[in-house]
């Protein structure tokens, strides 16, 4: 019998942090306590770090754990995952954290030893969570994409994200792919979808509102979504083929509208690789916002062997 173990984790985004304590018991993982804080991505380094540490302390206290316990943290690029240092130059966020020893600063605020604060790529954490506990469970080759402000990705070979191999895109990141000669995120991202709808309707609405209108029968909203996700499927099809993926899991905020996006995405994959579309399983995330938290917890629970810190 495997005794339950509780681990402290956090998922850091551009304007929000979610910290949590996850209980691991065999093949099961459960979030037992969590705390979130909104952050200003252009705020001072101290303000951001204080908000991050505050969420971590609150989550740990809710679960009865000391904040000095080891932490696993999912971080977005660009970041030096081994050194725990921010390299956020020219990305429109966290400019005051560039060059800051985030590991050391967080450790000091949490009363922890710097060596006990570990970092993993946020897209990798999402994929590991789905592979260990969610929709990609049981698949040797799995691809997880996250759809939101951008398009994140993780190509997992037996649970280990692959970044530098001939059967994956450069760095294992699909956002570097192109659609009609333009970066993929110029067609498929929150910003791109909002701009596309606005150009057609002379009205600016959120992607969530766009999905609601599409469900209500608005042809223009449906056209914007179908065009973008057909193109995304066509762009990913060759890589799903090369990687020999047996499942693709779609996560992130837009995956909540997968009932609208599934058909055009599958059609795009079929356009590029008909044989792949016939056999691959395509499914929305079953874990949603918990996926990166559970992924970091599983990574820590496996002694950080499921993936390298810098993936």
Q: Do 118 and 152 belong to one domain?
A: no
Residues 16 and 100 in one domain: yes
Domain of residue 9, CATH code:
3.30.420.40
Q: What are phi and psi of 5, to 5 degrees?
A: -135, 135
Neighbours of 268 (CB within 10 A): 24
3-state secondary structure of 217: coil
Together in a domain, 100 and 144: no
**Residue 310, C-beta contacts closer than 8 angstroms, at least 6 positions apart:** 80, 81, 82, 121
Which residue range forms the structural domain that includes residue 265?
137-284
E strands in 185-263: 247-251
The pLDDT, as a whole number, for residue 175 is: 86
* C-alpha 296, offset from chain centre: 11
pTM here is 0.91
168 and 44 fall within a common domain: no
Query: Could you report the average pLDDT of every consecutive run of 10 residues in the chain (311 residues)?
Result: 79 94 92 96 95 98 95 93 87 89 97 96 95 96 93 95 94 89 90 95 94 96 97 97 98 94 98 97 96 96 53 42
In the chain, the N- to C-terminal Cα span, in Å, equals 31
Q: Report pLDDT for 1.
A: 44
In this structure, are 146 and 269 located in the same domain?
Answer: yes
- Whether residue 310 is contained in a domain is answered as no
What is the reported pLDDT for 309?
40
Q: How many domains does the chain have?
A: 2
Are the C-beta atoms of 271 and 234 separated by less than 8 Å? yes
Asked whether the beta carbons of 246 and 280 are under 8 A apart, the reply is yes
- The answer to whether residues 10 and 99 belong to one domain is yes
Residues 60 and 173 placed together within one structural domain of the fold: no
* Residues 280 and 294 reside in one and the same domain: no
| Whether residue 192 sits in one domain with residue 167 | yes
């Amino acid at each position: 019998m495997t005794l339950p173990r509780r681990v402290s984790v956090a998922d850091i985004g551009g304007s929000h942090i979610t910290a949590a304590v996850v209980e691991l018991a065999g093949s099961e993982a459960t979030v037992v306590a969590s705390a979130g804080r909104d952050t200003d991505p252009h705020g001072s380094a101290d303000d951001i770090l204080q908000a991050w540490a505050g969420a971590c302390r609150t989550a740990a206290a809710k679960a009865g754990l000391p904040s000095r316990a080891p932490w696993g943290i999912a971080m977005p690029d660009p970041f030096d995952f081994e050194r725990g240092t921010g390299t956020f130059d020219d990305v429109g966020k966290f400019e005051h954290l560039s060059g800051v020893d985030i590991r050391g600063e967080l450790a000091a605020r949490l009363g922890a030893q710097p060596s006990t604060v570990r970092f993993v790529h946020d897209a990798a954490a999402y994929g590991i969570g789905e592979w260990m506990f969610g929709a990609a469970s049981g698949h040797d080759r799995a691809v997880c994409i996250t759809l939101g402000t951008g398009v994140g990705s993780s190509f997992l070979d037996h649970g280990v994200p692959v970044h530098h191999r001939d059967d994956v895109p450069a760095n294992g990141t699909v956002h570097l792919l192109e659609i009609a000669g333009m970066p993929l995120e110029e067609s498929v991202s929150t910003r791109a979808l909002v701009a596309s709808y606005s150009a057609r309707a002379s009205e600016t609405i959120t992607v969530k509102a766009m999905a609601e209108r599409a469900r209500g029968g608005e042809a223009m909203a449906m056209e914007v979504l179908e065009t973008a996700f057909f193109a995304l499927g066509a762009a990913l099809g060759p890589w799903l083929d090369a990687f020999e993926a047996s499942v693709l899991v779609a996560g992130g905020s837009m995956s909540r509208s997968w009932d609208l996006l599934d058909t055009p995405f599958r059609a795009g994959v079929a356009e590029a690789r008909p044989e792949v579309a016939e056999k691959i399983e395509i499914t929305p995330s079953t874990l949603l916002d918990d996926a990166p938290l559970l992924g970091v917890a599983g990574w820590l629970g496996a002694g950080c062997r499921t993936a390298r810190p810098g993936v």
